[in-house]
Amino acid sequence: MSFIDNVLGITTMGGLKSDKIDLKMENIHIHGEVEAYPDTCPDYKQGLWFSGSLLTHKALHPTGASALPIYNAHEPGSWGTATSFKNMYFHDWQSKKTVCGGNQAIFGNNLGFSDYVPKQSFDGVTFENVHEDAVAWLYDPPKAWINVTDCGNFNCTGPKNILVNIKRAVYKGSPQPDRTSANFSIISNNNGSSKFAGCKERKEWNGYWCENKELAILLFESLDGDTWDRSV
Q: Report how far residue 35's alpha carbon sits from residue 32's, in angstroms, rounded to the nearest whole number.
A: 10
Of the pLDDT bands very low, low, confident and very high (cuts 50, 70, 90), residue 17 is confident
- What is the pLDDT, as a whole number, of residue 208? 96
C-alpha distance from residue 99 to each of 29, 44, 78, 91, 145 (Å): 21, 12, 38, 16, 32
Q: Is 219 domain-assigned?
A: no
With respect to residue 216, please indicate whether it lies within any of the assigned structural domains: no
Mean pLDDT of 52-79: 69
Q: Is 76 inside a domain boundary?
A: yes
Domain assignment present for 229: no
Q: Report if residue 217 sits inside a domain.
A: no
How confident is the prediction for the chain on average, in pLDDT?
85
Phi, psi of 193 (to 5 degrees): -60, -35
The pLDDT tens digits for 72-130 are 666 777 788 899 999 999 999 999 998 888 899 999 988 778 788 899 999 999 999 99
Instruction: Give the pLDDT of residue 232.
Output: 46
Tell me whether residue 218 is in a domain.
no
- Asked if residue 37 has pLDDT above 50, the reply is yes
Per DSSP, what are the bridge partners of residue 208? 187, 201
pLDDT tens digit string along 154-190?
778 888 899 999 999 999 999 999 999 999 999 999 8
Quote the Cα angle for 146-149-150, to 5°: 50
Q: Cβ contacts of residue 162 below 8 Å, gap of 6+?
A: 50, 109, 117, 120, 138, 186, 187, 188, 207
Give mean pLDDT, residues 15-20.
Answer: 79
Q: Please return the burial class of 123, using the count of CB atoms within 10 Å of its CB with bins 0-12, 13-18 and 19+.
A: middle
Q: What is the reported pLDDT for 207?
A: 95
Query: 175: cis peptide before it, omega within 30°?
Result: yes
Q: In this structure, what are the phi and psi dihedrals at residue 152, rounded to the nearest 5 degrees?
A: 80, -150
- List pLDDT tens digits, range 41-55: 788 889 999 988 877
Residues 193-201, mean pLDDT to the nearest whole number = 89
Residue 152 inside a domain? The answer is: yes
Domain count, the chain: 1
So what's the pLDDT on residue 11?
85
Q: Which residues pair with 188 in a beta bridge?
A: 207
Q: Are 52 and 113 within 8 A, CB to CB?
A: yes
The CA-atom distances, in angstroms, between 95 and each of 32, 132, 133, 161, 177 are 9, 8, 7, 26, 11
Residue span of the structural domain in which 48 resides? 2-57+69-210
Distance CA 177, CA 133 (A): 8
Q: Check pLDDT > 70 for residue 231.
A: no
Q: What is the pLDDT of residue 27?
A: 96
d(CA 76, CA 117): 10
Tell me, what's the pLDDT at 57?
66
pLDDT at 68 over 90: no
- Residue 9: inside a domain, yes or no? yes
Yes or no: say if 94 and 73 are a contact pair by the CB < 8 Å rule: no
H-assigned helices in the chain:
none
Mean pLDDT of the 134-141 span? 92
Name 213's Cβ contacts closer than 8 Å, sequence gap at least 6: none
Tens-digit pLDDT profile for residues 207-225: 999 999 999 988 877 777 7
Contact between 107 and 136 under an 8 Å Cβ cutoff? The reply is yes
